Protein backbone atom coordinates (compact mmCIF):
# COMPACT_ATOMS: atom_id res chain seq x y z
CA UNK A 1 0.00 0.00 0.00
CA UNK A 2 1.36 3.42 -0.97
CA UNK A 3 1.68 6.25 1.60
CA UNK A 4 -1.19 8.04 -0.16
CA UNK A 5 -3.41 4.98 0.15
CA UNK A 6 -2.48 4.57 3.80
CA UNK A 7 -3.38 8.22 4.45
CA UNK A 8 -6.68 7.94 2.58
CA UNK A 9 -7.67 4.85 4.56
CA UNK A 10 -6.75 6.48 7.89
CA UNK A 11 -8.72 9.61 7.03
CA UNK A 12 -11.81 7.49 6.41
CA UNK A 13 -11.55 5.72 9.78
CA UNK A 14 -14.62 5.87 12.00
CA UNK A 15 -12.59 7.07 15.00
CA UNK A 16 -11.93 10.82 14.85
CA UNK A 17 -8.73 10.43 16.87
CA UNK A 18 -7.33 8.17 14.17
CA UNK A 19 -8.21 10.71 11.51
CA UNK A 20 -6.65 13.48 13.60
CA UNK A 21 -3.39 11.57 13.94
CA UNK A 22 -3.34 10.85 10.21
CA UNK A 23 -3.73 14.54 9.36
CA UNK A 24 -1.01 15.40 11.89
CA UNK A 25 1.34 12.87 10.31
CA UNK A 26 0.63 14.25 6.82
CA UNK A 27 1.60 17.73 7.98
CA UNK A 28 4.61 16.59 9.96
CA UNK A 29 6.15 14.95 6.88
CA UNK A 30 4.81 17.07 3.99
CA UNK A 31 4.48 15.48 0.57
CA UNK A 32 2.68 17.04 -2.41
CA UNK A 33 1.34 13.58 -3.20
CA UNK A 34 -0.95 13.97 -0.17
CA UNK A 35 -2.68 17.09 -1.48
CA UNK A 36 -5.61 15.54 -3.33
CA UNK A 37 -6.34 13.20 -0.41
CA UNK A 38 -6.24 16.01 2.14
CA UNK A 39 -8.46 18.27 0.04
CA UNK A 40 -10.97 15.51 -0.58
CA UNK A 41 -11.24 14.86 3.16
CA UNK A 42 -11.67 18.59 3.92
CA UNK A 43 -14.88 18.51 1.90
CA UNK A 44 -16.54 15.82 4.03
CA UNK A 45 -14.82 15.72 7.45
CA UNK A 46 -17.48 16.26 10.19
CA UNK A 47 -15.17 17.03 13.14
CA UNK A 48 -13.89 20.58 13.55
CA UNK A 49 -10.62 19.53 15.20
CA UNK A 50 -9.83 17.17 12.35
CA UNK A 51 -10.69 19.81 9.73
CA UNK A 52 -8.39 22.22 11.52
CA UNK A 53 -5.57 19.68 11.41
CA UNK A 54 -6.25 19.01 7.74
CA UNK A 55 -5.86 22.73 7.07
CA UNK A 56 -2.59 22.74 8.99
CA UNK A 57 -1.38 19.76 6.94
CA UNK A 58 -2.28 21.58 3.73
CA UNK A 59 -0.40 24.76 4.61
CA UNK A 60 2.64 22.65 5.43
CA UNK A 61 2.80 21.48 1.80
CA UNK A 62 4.69 23.54 -0.82
CA UNK A 63 2.52 26.59 -1.61
CA UNK A 64 3.28 26.39 -5.34
CA UNK A 65 1.57 23.01 -5.45
CA UNK A 66 -1.10 23.69 -2.85
CA UNK A 67 -2.57 27.04 -3.86
CA UNK A 68 -3.86 26.13 -7.36
CA UNK A 69 -5.59 23.02 -6.01
CA UNK A 70 -7.13 24.91 -3.10
CA UNK A 71 -8.37 27.68 -5.42
CA UNK A 72 -9.97 25.02 -7.63
CA UNK A 73 -11.98 23.86 -4.61
CA UNK A 74 -13.68 27.26 -4.47
CA UNK A 75 -15.77 26.11 -7.45
CA UNK A 76 -16.92 22.93 -5.74
CA UNK A 77 -20.62 22.20 -5.53
CA UNK A 78 -20.11 21.13 -1.91
CA UNK A 79 -20.38 24.02 0.54
CA UNK A 80 -17.91 22.55 3.04
CA UNK A 81 -15.29 22.19 0.31
CA UNK A 82 -15.68 25.89 -0.51
CA UNK A 83 -15.59 27.06 3.11
CA UNK A 84 -12.56 24.93 3.97
CA UNK A 85 -10.71 26.09 0.86
CA UNK A 86 -11.36 29.71 1.85
CA UNK A 87 -10.17 28.99 5.38
CA UNK A 88 -7.00 27.44 4.00
CA UNK A 89 -6.32 30.45 1.79
CA UNK A 90 -6.75 32.73 4.81
CA UNK A 91 -3.98 30.74 6.52
CA UNK A 92 -1.66 30.69 3.50
CA UNK A 93 -2.02 34.50 3.25
CA UNK A 94 -0.88 34.84 -0.35
CA UNK A 95 -2.29 38.22 -1.53
CA UNK A 96 -2.24 36.97 -5.11
CA UNK A 97 -5.20 34.74 -4.27
CA UNK A 98 -7.47 37.69 -3.44
CA UNK A 99 -9.17 37.73 -6.89
CA UNK A 100 -10.22 34.11 -6.32
CA UNK A 101 -12.56 35.27 -3.54
CA UNK A 102 -15.31 36.31 -5.92
CA UNK A 103 -18.53 38.20 -5.35
CA UNK A 104 -20.33 34.86 -5.72
CA UNK A 105 -18.43 33.54 -2.70
CA UNK A 106 -18.92 36.74 -0.70
CA UNK A 107 -22.68 36.42 -1.24
CA UNK A 108 -22.83 32.60 -1.11
CA UNK A 109 -26.18 31.25 0.08
CA UNK A 110 -24.39 29.09 2.66
CA UNK A 111 -23.60 31.16 5.76
CA UNK A 112 -20.39 29.30 6.57
CA UNK A 113 -19.03 29.81 3.06
CA UNK A 114 -19.95 33.49 3.14
CA UNK A 115 -18.38 33.99 6.59
CA UNK A 116 -15.16 32.33 5.43
CA UNK A 117 -15.17 34.45 2.29
CA UNK A 118 -15.65 37.70 4.25
CA UNK A 119 -12.79 36.90 6.61
CA UNK A 120 -10.47 35.70 3.87
CA UNK A 121 -11.12 38.57 1.49
CA UNK A 122 -10.70 41.17 4.23
CA UNK A 123 -7.36 39.63 5.20
CA UNK A 124 -6.04 39.44 1.64
CA UNK A 125 -7.41 42.64 0.07
CA UNK A 126 -4.74 45.05 -1.16
CA UNK A 127 -5.20 48.71 -0.27
CA UNK A 128 -6.64 49.62 -3.65
CA UNK A 129 -9.35 46.95 -3.47
CA UNK A 130 -10.65 47.61 0.01
CA UNK A 131 -13.34 50.13 -0.90
CA UNK A 132 -14.76 47.85 -3.60
CA UNK A 133 -14.74 44.93 -1.18
CA UNK A 134 -16.53 47.00 1.47
CA UNK A 135 -19.18 47.88 -1.11
CA UNK A 136 -19.91 44.19 -1.62
CA UNK A 137 -19.83 43.39 2.09
CA UNK A 138 -22.43 46.03 3.00
CA UNK A 139 -24.91 44.29 0.70
CA UNK A 140 -24.90 41.49 3.27
CA UNK A 141 -25.85 43.68 6.25
CA UNK A 142 -28.72 42.20 8.25
CA UNK A 143 -28.01 38.68 7.10
CA UNK A 144 -28.29 35.73 9.49
CA UNK A 145 -28.08 35.49 13.25
CA UNK A 146 -25.74 37.21 15.73
CA UNK A 147 -22.67 35.13 14.89
CA UNK A 148 -23.05 35.67 11.15
CA UNK A 149 -23.61 39.40 11.65
CA UNK A 150 -20.61 39.66 13.95
CA UNK A 151 -18.44 37.97 11.31
CA UNK A 152 -19.52 40.53 8.72
CA UNK A 153 -18.98 43.42 11.13
CA UNK A 154 -15.47 42.22 11.93
CA UNK A 155 -14.63 41.92 8.22
CA UNK A 156 -15.87 45.45 7.57
CA UNK A 157 -14.01 46.81 10.61
CA UNK A 158 -10.77 45.17 9.47
CA UNK A 159 -10.98 47.17 6.24
CA UNK A 160 -10.72 50.40 8.19
CA UNK A 161 -12.33 53.73 7.34
CA UNK A 162 -13.28 52.84 3.75
CA UNK A 163 -16.54 51.26 4.86
CA UNK A 164 -17.78 54.12 7.03
CA UNK A 165 -19.56 56.14 4.28
CA UNK A 166 -21.36 52.98 3.18
CA UNK A 167 -22.39 52.18 6.72
CA UNK A 168 -23.75 55.71 7.13
CA UNK A 169 -25.89 55.21 4.03
CA UNK A 170 -27.11 51.83 5.33
CA UNK A 171 -28.41 53.54 8.48
CA UNK A 172 -31.29 54.80 6.31
CA UNK A 173 -32.09 51.45 4.69
CA UNK A 174 -35.73 50.39 4.50
CA UNK A 175 -35.05 47.06 6.20
CA UNK A 176 -34.74 47.40 10.01
CA UNK A 177 -32.26 44.49 10.24
CA UNK A 178 -29.94 46.30 7.85
CA UNK A 179 -30.21 49.56 9.81
CA UNK A 180 -29.55 47.81 13.12
CA UNK A 181 -26.57 45.95 11.73
CA UNK A 182 -25.08 49.10 10.20
CA UNK A 183 -25.34 50.96 13.51
CA UNK A 184 -24.01 47.96 15.44
CA UNK A 185 -21.01 47.71 13.14
CA UNK A 186 -20.14 51.36 13.72
CA UNK A 187 -20.56 50.79 17.46
CA UNK A 188 -18.06 47.92 17.25
CA UNK A 189 -15.72 50.04 15.17
CA UNK A 190 -15.63 52.60 17.97
CA UNK A 191 -15.38 49.96 20.70
CA UNK A 192 -14.03 46.61 19.38
CA UNK A 193 -14.33 45.06 22.85
CA UNK A 194 -18.09 45.48 22.91
CA UNK A 195 -20.00 42.20 22.69
CA UNK A 196 -22.07 41.61 19.57
CA UNK A 197 -25.36 41.23 21.45
CA UNK A 198 -24.72 44.50 23.32
CA UNK A 199 -23.86 46.28 20.08
CA UNK A 200 -27.00 45.03 18.33
CA UNK A 201 -29.25 46.02 21.23
CA UNK A 202 -27.70 49.49 21.30
CA UNK A 203 -28.17 49.71 17.53
CA UNK A 204 -31.88 48.99 17.93
CA UNK A 205 -32.19 51.73 20.55
CA UNK A 206 -30.30 54.20 18.37
CA UNK A 207 -32.54 53.50 15.38
CA UNK A 208 -35.67 53.75 17.56
CA UNK A 209 -34.53 57.16 18.78
CA UNK A 210 -34.02 58.45 15.27
CA UNK A 211 -30.24 58.20 15.30
CA UNK A 212 -29.69 59.72 18.73
CA UNK A 213 -27.45 57.76 21.10
CA UNK A 214 -29.49 56.96 24.25
CA UNK A 215 -28.39 58.58 27.47
CA UNK A 216 -26.76 56.30 30.03
Q: Judge whether 125 and 179 are in contact, CB under 8 Å.
A: no
> How confident is the model at residue 190, as a pLDDT?
81
pLDDT for position 189: 85
Q: Which helix (H) or strand (E) holds 48?
A: helix 48-59
Q: What is the pLDDT of residue 136?
A: 98
Give CA separation, 1 vs 13, 78, 103, 112, 173, in Å.
Answer: 16, 29, 43, 36, 61
Tell me, what's the pLDDT at 212?
45
User: Given this model, what pLDDT does residue 24 score?
Assistant: 97
CA-CA-CA-CA torsion for 53, 192, 162, 210, nearest 10 degrees? 130
Please return the burial class of 78, using the count of CB atoms within 10 Å of its CB with bins 0-12, 13-18 and 19+: middle
Cα 136 to Cα 20, 28, 87, 108, distances in angstroms: 37, 39, 19, 12
Does the pTM of the predicted model rise above 0.85?
yes
C-alpha separations of 160 from 66, 79, 110, 145, 147 in Å: 30, 29, 26, 23, 21
φ and ψ of 12, to 5 deg: -100, 0
Per-residue pLDDT at 191: 75
pLDDT tens across the length of the chain (216 residues): 898 899 999 999 999 999 999 999 999 999 999 999 999 999 999 999 999 999 999 999 999 999 999 999 999 999 999 999 999 999 999 999 999 999 999 999 999 999 999 999 999 999 999 999 999 999 999 999 999 999 999 999 999 999 999 999 999 999 999 999 999 999 888 876 665 555 555 555 544 444 444 443
For residue 167, the model assigns a pLDDT of 95
Residue spans of the domains in the chain: they are 125-216
pLDDT at 195: 55
Amino acid sequence: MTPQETLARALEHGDASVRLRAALAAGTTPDPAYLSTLLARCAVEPEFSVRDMLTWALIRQPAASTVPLVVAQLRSGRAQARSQALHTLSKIKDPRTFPAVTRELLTDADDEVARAAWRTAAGLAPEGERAALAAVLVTQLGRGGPEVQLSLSRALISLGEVGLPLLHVAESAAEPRVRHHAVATQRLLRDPEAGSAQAVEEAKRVVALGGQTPER
